[in-house]
Structure 1
Amino acid sequence: LTIKPLMALKSPYLVMSGTWIIGMLIGLCINSASGLAMLLMVTMFPILLGLGVSRLSATAAVATTLCFDWSPSDTGTILSAETAGVDPVVYWSHYQVPIVAVAFVVVGVLHYLTQKYMDKRDGHIVQPMEVEKVEEEADNAPMWYAILPVIPLALILSFSSLWITTIKMNIVMAMFIGLTIGVMCEYGRWRDGQKVLGDIQTFFDGLGMQMANVITLVVAGQTFAKGLVSMGAITTLIDGSKNLGFGPMAMMLVMVAIIAVSAIVMGSGNAPFFAFAALTPAVAAHSGLHPVLMLLPMHFAASIMRNCSPITAVIVVSSGMGGVSSFDLVKRTAIPMAGAMIVTIGMTFFYYYTGW
């Protein structure tokens, strides 16, 4: 039902870029990169494959949908605003939104060009699925079953600051409500409890396998991060940069570079940013830079560069669900994320020199 009208566009990679933009907008309501990726992997990912996009390209677009933690309710956004002494709403509307608005165009175009070129380089042939053949081979599932995969996403968007605020809804709750509704529909269809329970085991098998990988890598990454902080390696680097007499924007670039490298090595965006955010006001005061102009690019650098780490949770989850290598995946995300970093740094310089 979804693929038929999208085929009329004659441009699967345009739909893929649109998926990234839609994911970024949904990210205003869903603050978890992994949670958002899981939702889109069961909704948009099959559509992109059906249009002829390769698994790597489709997974890259989905995995990077929250490369900017720009939600007003995001913990990093709130921490940045409070540390900089700025109202969170002002921080979001005056500083974050303009950067993301520019990134929509730049990263969207880079995804289109990068994934299309790499698919062609790898010998991938864009071949849309034969809708009629799929319909013939289906086990006569009712057409309204197309609604089921969208239920978790609908719940998340409905019970949020966009609409109903009296009821709280999180990713796990939405996924299990959707699962329960699916089980009830299947039982009503087959009237065979044993078959339905047997089929649903697939869900829990996949859940256990993916989470085992994620937990292992997250624990390893956090242990390594704690070791770096305990050794004082990064603090020493910051002190050395200050002693060299770097100017305001040079110090900003140093802090951003530290966060970016840490996010890739640690496989986490929050870990390095939360560890060094408290140091930022003192560093900013020493260099004569407003704290927000140091915290803002640091915050975005952390969320951007985690998408270039093969051990970060969102990359592991997405690659596992997409059936691709996480190392091959980060090769596809590197160029669009480099564009996102350039936009972030460029806009920060714009803020600084225009007195925004």
Structure 2
Amino acid sequence: MPIFMIASTILAVFVVSYYVLKKYNPIFVFLFSGLILLIISYYFVGSSIPKAPVREHNNFLNVLLDSYFFLVATFKSQLSGTGLIIMSVAGFAAYMKCINASAKLAFLANKPLGKIKNKYLILSGTFVVGMLLKIVISSYTGLLLLLLACIYPVLVSLKIRPVTAVCVLSLIALDYGPKDANSITMAGMVNQSDNVVGLFLNYQIYSVIAYIVTIAILIPIYFSWIDKKDKEKNLLQDEVGDIEIIDPKCPTFYIFFPWLPVVFLFGSYFLGIKLDVVSANFMSISIVFLIEFLRHRDARKLGNDMSVILKGMAEIFVSVVSILIAASVFAKGIENLGGLSVLVDAMKSLGGASWVAILFCIVVLSFLVYFAGVIMGSGIAAFNAFGKLAPEIATKLGIEPITLVLPLEIASCLGRAASPISGGILALAGFAKLNPMDIIKRSTPLLIIGMIVNIMVAFYLATFN
């Protein structure tokens, strides 16, 4: 039976990966495969279907209905919990884009870069600035589009190669902070949805700082070496067109608006006031509504702005929340097959070498999520597909669930940045008129180093924190 459980788990992951690679809709693949796995695991492994009503006898029709009961329960819990939080974040982000506040912030953030004379140090500065902006502009693709409009032209005007410039932008990959969808999902996985700020300050910040410092130091060394190699091969003839640097039309003080939810969340955390992410976002929207009304004296505009917010929430439901729901069903199906539990129990049998089991699980699960991110082109899809398995595994290992979930969250971001079908990478490639693989093959070595740093930090937090 254990061999069957392991083999069936591996086969399920392989089959799902195959159909995602064949460009089947991942939401459909996750939902359909998850329901099938729940039924298979009931009959062949004896795993009960969660949320199912208690019955004396179960025929196939009842088992099928029970799997749909679980699907409905998952929809309800996600839409009223993590899904609502993510949608509120997306609505606020759409509003900031609509009034040019986020674009103004990105435009002004590049000003200090022009004072740096070494172009490779400018690249490091760009990376650090971009990573700092990520805490308030949580969308990977959205932030890259802003940087392409505001910072990329500055880099090119300073004689930095377009391919090098977009490669550095692609490395601004980590999703972190209390406003981020992946962070919110991570908090939900470890049953701490009301403690996103605490998880960031106590755990996530260490992984983020380690990544930023490591990559910022390596960027000048690595890209100067790449340029030297390309020069020897006579490959430095990049075409650069005329690019206009546009200053977004809105007052300068609007750059503070994207920070409002972050300020509310951190302020309430340190003051001991309980404030959730949804409330912080809608409080911020109310404040900006008032200022926009005082500025334009047009109540009709506020009605149109509300439509922008609701459309932003609807779009994130289609692109993120629906994947989160589908991946939750798939993850439960994989969990019910029991293969991962068998492997973890086998590793625990090493006895005194329990640290080997912890390191093994961190490495295997992190790279599983990383390659899932590469295949899917979506960090949140990869994270939700396999991240939900981590809390139970962490409990079996005797470590805090967050210390195993966190490296998977980071790995999903790095895998997305290494995917030629990721929306962010396609945006960079299209803007610089490059093949996406030109970016991937240059950035992947640094992303792999980022993975190693991620695993090292996670192992430290799991064993010594």
Please indicate, yes or no, whether the TM-score normalized by the shorter chain is above 0.5: yes
TM-score, normalised to structure 2, is 0.54
Match of 1:323 among 401, 413, 433: 433
2:229 to 111, 121, 146: 121
Query: Closer, same or farther in 2 for the Cα pair 1:56/1:117, shift >3 Å?
Result: same
Q: Considering only CA atoms, is the larger Rg found in Structure 1 or Structure 2?
A: 2
Q: CA deviation at 1:278?
A: 2.5
Question: Is it true that 1:84 corresponds to 2:190 in the alignment?
Answer: yes
- Residue 363 of structure 2 aligns to a residue whose secondary structure is helix
Q: Quote how far apart the aligned CAs of 1:14 are.
A: 0.7
Deviation readout 1:157-180 (Å, 9 max, x if unpaired): 5343257975539xxxxxxxxxxx
Q: SS of 2:285's equivalent?
A: coil
Question: How far apart, in 2, do the equivalents of 1:151 and 1:337 lie?
Answer: 36
Distance 2:252 2:379 in 1: 24
Q: CA deviation at 1:304?
A: 1.3
Say if 2:230 and 2:236, in contact at 8 Å, map to a contact too.
no
Equivalent residue number for residue 22 of structure 1: 129
Q: Which residue matches 1:311?
A: 421
Encode CA deviations 1:251-300: one digit per residue, 9 max, x unaligned.
22221121111111111110021122322222222222220111000001
- 3-state SS, counterpart of residue 42 of structure 1: helix
Cross-structure match for 1:249? 359
Kindly indicate whether the alpha-carbon contact (under 8 Å) linking 1:37 and 1:318 is maintained by their aligned counterparts in 2: yes
Q: Are 1:44 and 2:143 an aligned pair?
A: no
Any idea what the Cα deviations from partners look like across 1:287-323, whole Å, max 9, x if unmatched? 2222011100000100112111111111111111121
1:95 aligns with 2:203: yes
RMSD: 3.7
Matched, 1:168 2:274: no
Q: What is the alpha-carbon distance in structure 2 between the residues aligned to residue 153 and residue 300 of structure 1?
A: 33
- The alpha-carbon distance between structure 1 residues 152 and 29, as it changes in their structure 2 partners (threshold 3 A), is farther
CA contact (8 A) 2:182 2:380 kept: yes
- Structure 1 range deviating more: 5-14 or 342-351: 5-14
1:333 maps to what in 2?
A: 443
Q: What amino acid is aligned across from residue 434 of structure 2 in structure 1? A: V
1:32 counterpart residue number = 139
Distance 2:459 2:230 in 1: 38
8 Å CA contact retained: 2:358, 2:459: no
Q: Deviation digits for residues 47-75 of structure 1, max 9, x if unmatched?
A: 1111111111100111221x211121112
User: Aligned partners of 1:256, 1:296: CA distance in 2, in Å?
Assistant: 9
Q: Aligned pairs, how many?
A: 287
Partner of 2:160: 53
User: Could you say what secondary structure the match of 1:122 adopts?
Assistant: helix
Q: Which moved more, 1:6-15 or 1:95-104?
A: 6-15
Aligned match of 2:176 in 70, 91, 112? 70
Question: Kindly, what percent of the aligned residue pairs are identical?
Answer: 26
> CA shift at 1:241, angstroms?
2.8
Task: Return closer, same or farther for 1:236/1:269 CA change in 2, 3 Å cut-off.
Answer: farther
Change (3 A) 1:44 1:290: same
Aligned residue in 2 for 1:296: 406
Q: For residue 239 of structure 1, report the CA deviation from its aligned partner.
A: 4.7
Judge conservation of contact 2:374–2:415 (CA < 8 Å) in 1.
Answer: yes
2:178/2:197 contact within 8 Å kept: yes
Q: Which residue of 2 aligns with 1:175?
A: none
**SS at the partner of 2:259?**
coil
**Matching residue within 374, 387, 395 for 1:285:** 395
- Which moves more between the two structures, 245-254 or 265-274? 245-254
Contact persistence 2:369–2:408 (CA under 8 A): yes
User: TM-score, normalized by length of structure 1?
Assistant: 0.70
Q: Could you tell me how far apart the structure 2 residues matched to 1:150 and 1:117 are?
A: 40
Q: 1:282 to 1:8 in 2, by over 3 A?
A: closer
Q: Is the 8 A contact 1:267 1:311 kept in 2?
A: yes
Look up the equivalent residue of 1:45 and give its one-letter code: Y
| Ranges in structure 2 where 5+ consecutive residues have no aligned partner | 1-107, 265-280, 287-318, 349-356
Give yes or no for contact 2:127–2:168 (8 Å, CA) kept in 1. Answer: yes
**CA 1:15 to 1:275, structure 2 compared with 1: closer, same or farther past 3 Å?**
same
**Higher mean displacement: 19-28 or 86-95:** 86-95
Deviation at 1:16, TM superposition (A): 1.0
For 2:367 and 2:113, locate their aligned partners in 1 and report how far apart those are by CA, in whole Å.
40
Query: Partner of 2:214 in structure 1?
Result: 106
Deviation, structure 1 residue 147: 5.8
Q: Is the 8 A contact 2:124 2:217 kept in 1?
A: yes
What letter is aligned with 2:259? Answer: S
